[in-house]
Chain A
Amino acid sequence: MPKNDFQETFKQLKAIFKLYAPKLHVVHDTDTNYYLDTHRVMKNKHRLFFGAVRTGKAYVSFHLMPVYASAELQKTISPELKKRMQGKSCFNFKTPDEKLFKELGKLTKAGFEKIPRPRISAENTLTMNDSLIARYRRWFDYEKDSHRKTLDSLQAVSAELHESEEFRKAVYLVGHIVAARACGCFARGH
C-alpha cells in the first residue's frame, strides 16, 4: 500500500456519497471536490449542506454535516474512526481504509435519514419540491398563454410588413422557442 493514494481515496469516499446523489443536490463534481447539498432550503435562502469529499494538500477530507448536527450520530462513531476526525464533522484520510470506509458508509446512511423533512406548507399538502413542481407547471401555463398572445400579435401585423426582416426574424424566433421546447433543448449562450 503506498503511503499516499489521494486519487483512489477520493474515488472510494465519493462512491459513498454517490449512492445518495439522486436524492440530493450535486453542487460540485470535479476530480478533487464532490459536494452535496440537501434540497432543504434554509432561512438564509441557501440549501442545507449535506457533505463533501475534498482533496487537500495533506489529506482527502470527508465532511458529513449530519454528524455535526446530531449528538446521537456522534455517539455511534468508533474510537478508530474518531482518530480520523478533525473538528466535529470531518474525517481525514491519506489512503483507502476498507473497514473505516464501511463505517463511514453506515454513518452516511444514518445521516441521510436524519435530513430534516420539508415543512408542510400553508396548504398543508405541498412539500418543498411539490411547490417547485407546481411552480414549473404554473410557469408553463403562463408560457402557453404567452404563445397565444404572441401568435395573435404576429397575425395582427399587416400583410405588407410580412416580408420585412424584422417580421421574419420575429416569426423565426417563435419557431426557435417552439423547437427548443419540442426537443428539450436550448442553445447555451445563444
Chain B
Amino acid sequence: MAVSLGVIKENVELFPGETRLDELPAQIEEMETLWSQYLSQLDDAELARVFEYQSYEGQRFRNTIEDILTQLFGHSWYHRGQIAQLVRSIGAEPALTDFVSGQGSRWRSWSKGSVR
C-alpha cells in the first residue's frame, strides 16, 4: 500500500524495477529540488493538516502531514541501512551516514565547545 502527500510529483513508479546507477544522480537532484521547495513553504497549518488516503485494497486512513513526514524520514533511514548491509555483504565499503557524524553535526560542534 502506498500513500501520497499529493504535493510533490505525479506519475512516479514507487517500486522501480530496473534502476541504473548512472541515472540516480539526476533523479536525486530533481527530487531534492522539489522537496527543498516543499519544506521551505512548510508551516503550522500544513503540519497539522489531516491527510486522508486510500490503500490499494480500498481501506481508508487518516494521518497528519507531520506523521507522514516523520514516516518518510524513517522510510529513508530504514532502506539506507539495508543498502549499507548489501554493500558490505559484497566486500565493499558502505557509506557512513550516521546523523551524528554527518553535515552540520552538533556533536562535533559540542566536542569543540562551540554549542551549548
Tell me the A residues contacting B by CB distance below 8 Å.
Answer: 21-26, 29, 39, 122, 127, 129, 132-133, 136-147, 149-158, 161-162, 164, 166-167, 169-189
Known: A144-B32, A152-B95, A161-B90. A184 touches B8 (CB 8 A): yes
Among B10, B64, B92, find the residue whose CB has the most chain A CB atoms closer than 10 A: B92
In the A-B complex, the 9 residue pairs with the closest CB atoms: A175-B19, A184-B5, A183-B12, A149-B95, A184-B8, A153-B95, A146-B97, A170-B86, A145-B103
Binary contact track B55-86/A, C-beta < 8 Å → 1, others 0: 10000001010101101110110011011001
Are the C-beta atoms of A184 and B6 separated by less than 8 Å? Answer: yes
Looking at the assembled complex, report how far the CB atom of B9 sits from the nearest CB atom of chain A, in whole angstroms: 5
Q: Cα distance A1–B34 when bound, in Å?
A: 55
Which residue from B21, B27, B116 sits with its C-beta under 8 Å from A182? B27
Are the C-beta atoms of A149 and B97 separated by less than 8 Å? Answer: yes
Chain A, Cβ-Cβ closest to B39: A137
Q: Which residues of A contact B66 (CB under 8 A)?
A: 132
Are the C-beta atoms of B50 and A21 separated by less than 8 Å? Answer: yes
Are the C-beta atoms of A185 and B39 separated by less than 8 Å? Answer: no
Are the C-beta atoms of A178 and B28 separated by less than 8 Å? Answer: yes
Are the C-beta atoms of A175 and B97 separated by less than 8 Å? Answer: no
Which residue from A22, A129, A146 sits with its C-beta under 8 Å from B95? A146
Known: A132-B47, A184-B72. A154 touches B1 (CB 8 A): no
Q: Cα distance A132–B67 when bound, in Å?
A: 12
Q: Which residues of B contact A138 (CB under 8 A)?
A: 104
Looking at the assembled complex, report how far the CB atom of B56 sits from the nearest CB atom of chain A, in whole angstroms: 10
CB interface residues, B 92-116, toward A, < 8 Å = 92-97, 99, 102-104, 116
Which residue from A136, A144, A154 sits with its C-beta under 8 Å from B21? A154
